[in-house]
Structure 1
Amino acid sequence: YAGWLSWFSHSVACSLYAVLFGTFFVELLEMGDLHPGHDILFWGLTATQVWVKIFAVLAALLFVMINVRGSSETGLIGNIVTIFKVIVLGLLVIFGLRAMMNMSNWADNFWRDPSPLPNGIGGIILAMGLTFVAFEGYEIIAQSGEEVKDPGRNVPRAIFLAIAIVVVIYLAVAFVSIGALQQDSGLPNWVYMGENGERAMIETARSIMPYGALMMVLGGLASTISALNATIYSSSRVSFAMGRDRDLPAVFGRIHPRNKTPHWAVWLSGLLIMFMAVAFPIEDVASGASITFLLLFLMVNIALIRLRTTRPDLVRPFRAPFVPWLQIISIGLQLVLAVELFELSPTAWVTTGVWLLLGLLVYSRYGGIQEATKIEDTILLEETVAMRDYSVLLPVANEVMARQLANFGALFALANRGELFALNVIRVPAQLGVTDGRAFLRRSRPLLDEVVAVGREFNVPVRTMLRLGRDISDSILSAAQEREANLMILGWPGQTRHRDQAFGTIIDLMAQNPPCDLAVVRFRRSSAPMQKILVPVAGGPNTRMALELAVTQADALEQVTGQRPTVVALNLALGESPTAEQMDRQRQQLIDQFELAELPIEIEVTHAQDVVEGILAAAVNC
């Protein structure tokens, strides 16, 4: 039921951001002398109000389509937009403080009304309730806990830091808005701003700094754009999870076959958002958003108290203090704020009440299905653990590569009396939660079965893992660290997409700081028995390890086939033709530096004009 309310809360908040976007966009048009006018068109709406709603719908529709398609760049764009709007607000504060320093009577703006509470305590409570939606968003940090490293430490810190930063910005903007605003209406600044509604900050910025109105409009557009994208993402994510768990019709849980996004959840959430933006005035939308979030966070406090008493055994890296008294106080205050908003917008309360009743009907129809179907769910995330000290990690992406890597890796596992660790990583799009990616896991089972089959052939135990993550390389590295892999073998297709990449994006990223020994393999088609293992060496830090891996491979091949290939360490003498004495000296330096005399290998020093040509010439008979 909390999910039902959460979906509505984010949708209403998103409709508020859409309407604000329309307001700022119309203001931008008016700056360019494109005035929609104030004539009444229909339903008591002026031309300006109609165009605000049209642009609100278009903005919501645009971001619905973006979320349906799925884009990894939206996160970067969101960060850029956030930085821009913080810069705009920072400039407003700086110019506001500068203007106040040049005003001898700026303090009078705070004392125009001698009463500390001009509208009584009820006015303060009403303002608190109406602006509650301005603090919405930090709960997304908790929703993304499964994607955060060390969530027990970082999630609480991020939440408190986010709230603290926002409070400081809000207070600074409010301070300079009241203190620096110059207007001739005869009203106190706070009254003047209240009467201007959503245009108040535009008028304030126009008064405080050069091009202030334009900067504030652009900042408002940027702010609402980033908020639109984030809340459409959040609302569709909630409805998708409910559809997947059968708390909503199954259509909400469907995933687009190509884009891998919950397209139906996004479209249906978008329709709800656009309806709210068109059907209600901005005051009712803002009140509705605050009411629903107040009720939602009220449920969170109730759930915390309930979980503390019913599940005291749960591991809690962060423990909320003063339970249950702090939560009881919070519940009481949230109820007071929500009830007080009825005075401002009865329509918002009626709409919220209708939604809550509709939620009861939906839950009575779908809510019990999830419990009945849980037993039928297939366990898709599996791990077979073999207690061996040596582990060879094989990240596999397709069945052909899985068998090739398994045949190669089994040699090292066999020689070290270890295990194969077969890993397949499913990259989950940003539009889905990490755990929501389990819908893709069933298709990965055949990849791991290939490795298991090879393990049986070599009599080597196999551990398997299906892993979900945003970034494939990070997921592979995490698996290697968590399972303490000794050797990681990566398959390379033989080409890269960019000149500045040695092997490819994933391999290059993991090679920067691997948690274990790393080998990159390029397979070729050959049915002939292996006669020679050629190891080009130049005296670098990996020389000894590369030769030891080659010797291990030769030992295992001898154990399996009865024939041992020759391991040859190839060192190239570049430049002018060296004498035989110089080449012998170079060979002996290599032996002494890396203590190669104890290894069953041949060391070959060959003259070559080019490194690549020299290696290819020596590899002819491999």
Structure 2
Amino acid sequence: MENGERVELSRGLSLTHLMMMGMGMMIGAGVFVATGIAIGFAGPGGILVAFALNGLIAFFSAMSFAELASALPTAGGAYTYIDEAFKGLIGFISGWMNWFALTVAGSLYAITFATYTVFLLEGTSWFTNLNLEHELVIKLLALAIALVFVAINYIGVSETGSIENLITLGQMGTLAFIGLFSIYYIFVHPEKLAHFNDFVPNGWDKVLMAMGFTYVGFEGYEVIAHAGEEAVNPKETVPKAILYSVVAVTATYILFAFAAIVGAEPGNVPLTEWFAELGPVGMGEAIKDLMPYGGLLITLAAIFSSTSALNATIYSSTRVLFAISRDGRLPSFFSRIHPVRRVPHYALFASSLIILSVALIFPIEDVAASADIVFLLIFLLVNAAVIRIRNERGDELDYGFQMPYFPYIPLLAILFQAVLSLWVFNVSPTAWAITLTWVAIGLIVYKSYRGARVERFKSEREKVFEEEVEAGARYRIVVAVSNERTAPVLVRYAERIAKQVNGELFVISVVTVPEQTPLEEARQFADGARKVLRVARESVSGDVRVEGIIYYSHSVYRGIMSAVRDKRADLLILGWEGRSRWSKYVLGSNLDRIVRDAPCNVIVIKPGETERKEKVERILFPTRGGRNASKAAELVGLLAESYGANVTVLTVSEAKMNLDAVLQRIPNARLEVRGGNVIEGILRECQKHDLLIMGATREPLFRRLIFGEVPEKVASKCRKTVLLVKINRGIRARINRLVGRRE
């Protein structure tokens, strides 16, 4: 916003433009070298099945990208989405791997350019007469073309969108023409179908190897998400462009592979062995046999594709490294801009160094396999991110597209991508060694480079006050406060528990700004939060350690969950004003999700008439027993000991309950058994007591309920202060939430 005017990017990219971007990135150099190699171990039928199944898996992941792009159209790229969902170590490693994946892909494209250039030159007599070592020439050409495009990126020559579109149309048109010609060719030479007689000669496990090895040809559509801010009607056009481009490219690949198989002239050598011997240039030789000038046609397509993709990956890898540095996760010099060229020159140099090193040192099979592994792992994390973002933020985001059969589609994609990435080991153990080494380096960088992470967090939180006490493992209680009236109530209960367990308090308040507003801008709205924290501080007696922290976030949910994770909370305490009769939520849209997802025990406090009394003398704890009830009873016992209060354990049921575990955790508790209506019975007993504490119950029919029907109805009607306790059930609870089950 400048001088009262909103500044936005021009939205001029149509559905066609976006599809051109996606297909142009997908049809890079990988398909020209990887397809022939894959036929060499998977066979003619195996490669067609591999491309079809890869297209399906890519379509699953494309739906994840489409959903995320429609909900967050101003954000783009795998790193952004993964970091949005997980942050911390996973967010950093995703960016670290994304950078590496792009640089390795750049090496693959440089080698592909060199391989097919030599393939073209081999047909000339002057090149043959030079009697040069082909591998040496390929390495030198790869180095040369990479340096050319590094120089282009350094000089800052802008890409011309119309030229890029023409190259994409040329790529698609060439491959589609070759594929369609092969269909005509098969009518003229039906005997060529005999090449499919040995459909999968080496077993179906080789199909999995081919899928993993050729998956690099199915990445690239994610670039469409980068253009969310410049797309016309992004919530509709971006998802469509992503899905349509995957379908179009998959069909093109299948046709292209079919053309190579029917066009090949292996002589007396089995087809699979023929492709295995030729390796990276197998596709070129097969298309040369298929049609007049086929070798020239496929070579030019490979050269144009590889140079276009090489330029794009150098540009993209540089920007990813720049973004990680700008986020404060790597040294700041990587995000410096050259004063004259206006490019991130240090990031460009680092990316170029990896591209050149990998291209010079490793064979093309290892380079391609490394790119496959890293892209598979990144897409796996994106599918995990879409599940987490939908579960945690689904109510607050405006989706233009939501995938069907959620979460089963991303879960299937995660499973397949994990299997394929592991299966690539059979193609190239070296590729896995490279990948693991890179991840290990990333872990070392993440652990050692602490200064940058601290700097990043300065914009996300602000410490208002702190009382230092002796160090050591302590029970940690996070109290979330939002208004001056209820803050003292929540803090007083938290302090009583902390005193009993030698714990410490973290009183937090969340200040939010919209998604499109940087978190740094939230500081100007923090005066109210600072005042609430000071009021909360004044209500603490001073016998426990207390910190007051403001969290800046794009939602209350994320702010509180960040605090719980940062402080490794054992207990989270929240306030509840009571249920609105018109709301579809029990506690509120944010509180419902926080209570459901918090990785710790939770107490929700609804203040009532109890707060007018000077002392709590009688506590009511209704329960029907069970493992969670006995754990909740421990908190009841702590508060009873703190107040010196008597506890009544109440069960309203005709059936006999075993409450021994509950009574053992509350010394001197009195057991009362009542019959009749449960809710009415508890409310009657509430009138004789000062404080009501209830635990969560399991009621599968009420999926939207957090604690269960009885506790929530009683809490809404009871006039005394009510504490609703939810015990954390760990990994089992997370699995249940993932598949939509009630805990």
Residues 100 and 180, structure 1, Cα contact 8 Å, conserved in 2:
no
Higher relative contact order (CA 8 A, sep 6+): 2
Which residue of structure 1 lines up, in the alignment, with residue 103 of structure 2? 11
| Candidates 268, 277, 283, aligned match of 2:365 | 283
Which residue of structure 2 lines up, in the alignment, with residue 56 of structure 1? 142
- Are 2:312 and 1:245 equivalent residues in the alignment? no
Letter in 2 for 1:366: Y
Pair 156,376 (structure 1): closer, same or farther in 2 beyond 3 Å: closer
Residues 176-213 of structure 1: CA distance to partner in whole angstroms, max 9, x if unpaired? 2212333313313x442243111112111211111111
Which residue of structure 2 lines up, in the alignment, with residue 148 of structure 1? 231
Residues 36 and 51, structure 1, Cα contact 8 Å, conserved in 2:
no
| Candidates 158, 166, 171, aligned match of 1:72 | 158
Letter in 2 for 1:251: F
Letter in 1 for 2:215: F
Q: How does 1:330-479 map to 2 (within 5 A)?
A: 330-366=413-449, 369-370=452-453, 372-373=455-456, 375=458
| Candidates 233, 258, 261, aligned match of 1:178 | 261
- Are 2:216 and 1:133 equivalent residues in the alignment? yes
SS in 2 for 1:259: coil
Residues 354-392 of structure 1: CA distance to partner in whole angstroms, max 9, x if unpaired? 100111111223366245345469xxxxxxxxxxxxxxx
SS in 2 for 1:162: helix
Which residue of structure 1 lines up, in the alignment, with residue 727 of structure 2? none
1:15, distance to aligned residue in structure 2 (A): 0.6
Letter in 2 for 1:284: D
Pair 357,376 (structure 1): closer, same or farther in 2 beyond 3 Å: same
Q: Which runs of 5+ in 1 are unaligned?
A: 40-45, 378-434, 439-622
Structure-1 separation of matches of 2:422 and 2:459 = 43
Which residue of structure 1 lines up, in the alignment, with residue 94 of structure 2? 2
Residues 154 and 341, structure 2, Cα contact 8 Å, conserved in 1:
yes
Structure-1 separation of matches of 2:450 and 2:320 = 15
| Candidates 187, 194, 208, aligned match of 2:270 | 187
Pair 176,437 (structure 1): closer, same or farther in 2 beyond 3 Å: farther
- Are 2:412 and 1:329 equivalent residues in the alignment? yes
Pair 191,164 (structure 1): closer, same or farther in 2 beyond 3 Å: farther
Structure-1 separation of matches of 2:259 and 2:424 = 27
Pair 80,272 (structure 1): closer, same or farther in 2 beyond 3 Å: same
| Candidates 291, 306, 314, aligned match of 2:397 | 314
Which residue of structure 2 lines up, in the alignment, with residue 102 of structure 1? 188
Residues 106-141 of structure 1: CA distance to partner in whole angstroms, max 9, x if unpaired? 221211x2xx53222211100000000011111111
Structure-2 separation of matches of 1:367 and 1:78 = 41
Residues 25-76 of structure 1: CA distance to partner in whole angstroms, max 9, x if unpaired? 112222222447998xxxxxx8211110111111111111111222234433
Residues 228 and 234, structure 2, Cα contact 8 Å, conserved in 1:
yes
- Are 2:118 and 1:26 equivalent residues in the alignment? yes
SS in 2 for 1:28: helix
Residues 11-35 of structure 1: CA distance to partner in whole angstroms, max 9, x if unpaired? 1111111111110111222222244
- Are 2:355 and 1:269 equivalent residues in the alignment? no
Structure-1 separation of matches of 2:195 and 2:328 = 56
Pair 163,371 (structure 1): closer, same or farther in 2 beyond 3 Å: farther
Letter in 1 for 2:135: Q
Q: How does 1:150-169 map to 2 (within 5 A)?
A: 150-169=233-252
Structure-1 separation of matches of 2:130 and 2:360 = 18
Query: If the length of structure 1 is used for normalisation, what is the TM-score?
Result: 0.57
1:227, distance to aligned residue in structure 2 (A): 0.9
Which residue of structure 1 lines up, in the alignment, with residue 201 of structure 2? 118
- Are 2:133 and 1:47 equivalent residues in the alignment? yes
Greater CA deviation, 278-287 or 190-199? 190-199
Structure of greater Rg: 1
Q: Which runs of 5+ in 2 are unaligned?
A: 1-92, 461-515, 520-743
Structure-2 separation of matches of 1:19 and 1:437 = 41
Residues 549-586 of structure 1: CA distance to partner in whole angstroms, max 9, x if unpaired? xxxxxxxxxxxxxxxxxxxxxxxxxxxxxxxxxxxxxx
| Candidates 188, 204, 207, aligned match of 2:286 | 204
Letter in 2 for 1:57: L
Structure-2 separation of matches of 1:76 and 1:2 = 32
Greater CA deviation, 86-95 or 297-306? 86-95
Structure-1 separation of matches of 2:129 and 2:208 = 36
Letter in 2 for 1:365: S
Greater CA deviation, 51-60 or 366-375? 366-375
1:77, distance to aligned residue in structure 2 (A): 3.0
SS in 1 for 2:449: helix
Structure-2 separation of matches of 1:249 and 1:6 = 18
Structure-2 separation of matches of 1:335 and 1:105 = 39
Pair 376,299 (structure 1): closer, same or farther in 2 beyond 3 Å: closer
Letter in 2 for 1:62: V
Structure-2 separation of matches of 1:243 and 1:223 = 30
Residues 383-410 of structure 1: CA distance to partner in whole angstroms, max 9, x if unpaired? xxxxxxxxxxxxxxxxxxxxxxxxxxxx
Which residue of structure 2 lines up, in the alignment, with residue 303 of structure 1? 385
Residues 142 and 155, structure 1, Cα contact 8 Å, conserved in 2:
yes
SS in 1 for 2:338: coil
Query: If the length of structure 2 is used for normalisation, what is the TM-score?
Result: 0.48
Residues 241 and 436, structure 1, Cα contact 8 Å, conserved in 2:
no
Pair 125,104 (structure 1): closer, same or farther in 2 beyond 3 Å: closer
Residues 37 and 47, structure 1, Cα contact 8 Å, conserved in 2:
no
SS in 1 for 2:122: helix
Residues 154 and 345, structure 2, Cα contact 8 Å, conserved in 1:
yes
1:156, distance to aligned residue in structure 2 (A): 0.9
Aligned residues: 373
Structure-2 separation of matches of 1:437 and 1:61 = 37
Pair 341,375 (structure 1): closer, same or farther in 2 beyond 3 Å: same
SS in 2 for 1:105: helix
Pair 103,148 (structure 1): closer, same or farther in 2 beyond 3 Å: same
Structure-1 separation of matches of 2:152 and 2:214 = 29
SS in 1 for 2:125: coil
Residues 68-102 of structure 1: CA distance to partner in whole angstroms, max 9, x if unpaired? 22223443332222222233223322432332222
Structure-2 separation of matches of 1:217 and 1:281 = 20
Pair 153,30 (structure 1): closer, same or farther in 2 beyond 3 Å: same
SS in 2 for 1:165: helix
